[in-house]
């Protein structure tokens, strides 16, 4: 077996995530154009309506991104019931965070604690200069220092790699698509998809019907599509952060052991929700029985551990180990 390197892992996952983000933006633009075209049916200016709606859709997405860019992290921390702490309250934690920040070459982030027995952690912010890491009390109690280094290294990798900005922006973009889909479905329900459908019988009527059908289909499929894209983006960033954590700690075994402990823990993180689940190092809702593997925000723990073992040339998990973690994320 050829031993992979964390450099190749980073390069591959960066390319995949960038392409997924472009795909979301392209879908937003196309969907906006179709909505405008359908709204303008019967006016004779369908193309102009489509172009106008396309511009409005992109502008709306950009404004939403701007709002998320400057205030999204505060909303995430507040909804997670995270409280900022100082070094005197948890010297060991601050020491590990400072150590990993130095290794990553980024400023020391703000440190938050979530009072919850479920072991988990996440990072947020718009860039390394405005970043925060949040750790549950359960994580501090159940992991040793080596494992804590692996988890914090994972989160600092999200900061260094600008995943914290990326996830906020992609989240807002897919949310914008879902909102447009709902508005379009409501419009077609109340107004029949055009001002004067009788005009569809003259020049271009066939195209108008096709565009109306395409618009309705897109509106129905958009929430499913955006959920799949968001999940795929989040999964790729987790693989990248795992590989980057190895680069920072030079010790894949710490993160490997931490992931196994987090997956096997039965405590539920009550402050997590569908809007924030993708931020955590392991899916906090999986223990509540929420979501299927298809729509999961995280790759399977078994895959993540096997990738870490591949970095060092170690054999993959044996069947007995897999049985202990199967279905947990």
Global pTM value = 0.76
Give me the tens of pLDDT residue by residue for the chain, a chain 329 residues long.
344 555 665 666 567 667 766 777 777 788 888 888 877 877 788 889 889 988 888 887 777 777 777 888 898 899 899 999 999 999 999 999 999 999 999 999 999 999 999 999 999 998 899 999 999 999 999 999 999 999 999 999 999 988 888 777 776 666 677 777 777 777 666 655 444 445 444 445 565 576 667 767 777 777 677 667 667 667 778 888 998 999 999 998 999 999 999 988 888 888 877 667 888 999 887 654 444 455 567 888 889 999 999 887 888 888 877 777 654 44
Confidence at residue 195, expressed as pLDDT on a 0 to 100 scale: 47
Q: Any bridge partners for residue 123, and if so which?
A: 133
CATH number assigned to the domain comprising residue 243: 3.30.2010.10
CA distance 34 to 185: 12
- Is position 1 within any domain? no
Assess whether 142 and 182 both reside in one domain: no
Contact 225, 289 (CB under 8 A): no
Confidence at residue 293, expressed as pLDDT on a 0 to 100 scale: 55
3-state DSSP percent of the chain in helix, strand and coil, to 5:
70, 5, 25
Assess whether 24 and 149 both reside in one domain: no
Residues 6+ apart with CB under 8 A from 138: 116, 117, 118, 119, 120, 265, 267
- Number of structural domains in the chain: 2
Domain boundary among 232, 262, 284: 232
CA distance 329 to 327: 7
Confidence at residue 229, expressed as pLDDT on a 0 to 100 scale: 67
CA dist 299 to 101, 178, 252, Å?
Answer: 25, 24, 17
Confidence at residue 64, expressed as pLDDT on a 0 to 100 scale: 75
Assess whether 70 and 109 both reside in one domain: no
CA distance 262 to 297: 16
Assess whether 198 and 281 both reside in one domain: no
Assess whether 68 and 90 both reside in one domain: no
Confidence at residue 33, expressed as pLDDT on a 0 to 100 scale: 86
Assess whether 205 and 122 both reside in one domain: no
Assess whether 149 and 68 both reside in one domain: no
Rg of the chain in Å (alpha carbons)? 23
Residue 154 C-alpha from the chain's centroid:
15
Going edge to edge, which strands form the sheet with 131-136? 82-84, 110-114, 131-136, 121-125
CA distance 299 to 242: 11
Assess whether 157 and 19 both reside in one domain: no
- Is position 196 within any domain? yes
Which structural domain range is residue 28 located in?
6-75+165-232
| 3-class DSSP state of 125 | strand
By annotation, the residues acting in catalysis are: 155
């Amino acid at each position: 077996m050829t031993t992979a390197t964390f450099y190749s892992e980073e390069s591959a996952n960066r390319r995949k995530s960038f392409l997924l983000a472009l795909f979301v933006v392209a879908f937003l633009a196309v969907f906006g154009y179709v909505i405008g075209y359908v709204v303008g049916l019967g006016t004779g200016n369908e193309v102009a309506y489509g172009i106008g709606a396309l511009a409005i859709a992109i502008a709306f997405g950009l404004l939403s991104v701007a709002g998320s860019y400057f205030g999204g992290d505060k909303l995430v921390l507040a909804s997670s019931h995270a409280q900022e702490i100082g070094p005197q309250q948890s010297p060991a934690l601050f020491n590990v965070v400072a150590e990993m920040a130095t290794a990553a070459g980024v400023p020391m982030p703000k440190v938050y604690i979530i009072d919850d027995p479920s072991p988990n952690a996440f990072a947020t912010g718009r860039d390394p200069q405005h970043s925060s890491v949040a750790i549950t009390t359960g994580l501090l109690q159940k992991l040793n220092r080596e494992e804590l280094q692996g988890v914090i290294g994972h989160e600092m990798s999200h900061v260094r790699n600008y995943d914290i900005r990326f996830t906020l922006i992609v989240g807002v973009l897919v949310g914008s698509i879902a909102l447009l889909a709902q508005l379009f479905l409501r419009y077609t329900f109340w107004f029949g998809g055009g001002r004067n459908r009788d005009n569809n019988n003259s020049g271009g009527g066939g195209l108008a019907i096709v565009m109306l059908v395409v618009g309705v289909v897109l509106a129905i499929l958009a929430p499913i599509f955006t959920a799949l894209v968001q999940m795929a983006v989040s999964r790729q960033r987790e693989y990248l952060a795992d590989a980057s954590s190895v680069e920072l700690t030079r010790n894949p075994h710490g993160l490997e052991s931490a992931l196994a402990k987090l997956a096997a823990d039965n405590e539920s993180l009550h402050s997590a929700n569908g809007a924030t689940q993708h931020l955590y190092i392991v899916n906090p809702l999986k223990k509540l029985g929420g979501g299927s593997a298809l729509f999961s925000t995280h790759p399977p723990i078994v895959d993540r551990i096997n990738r870490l073992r591949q970095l060092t040339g170690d054999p993959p998990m044996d069947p007995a180990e897999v049985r202990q973690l199967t279905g947990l994320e």
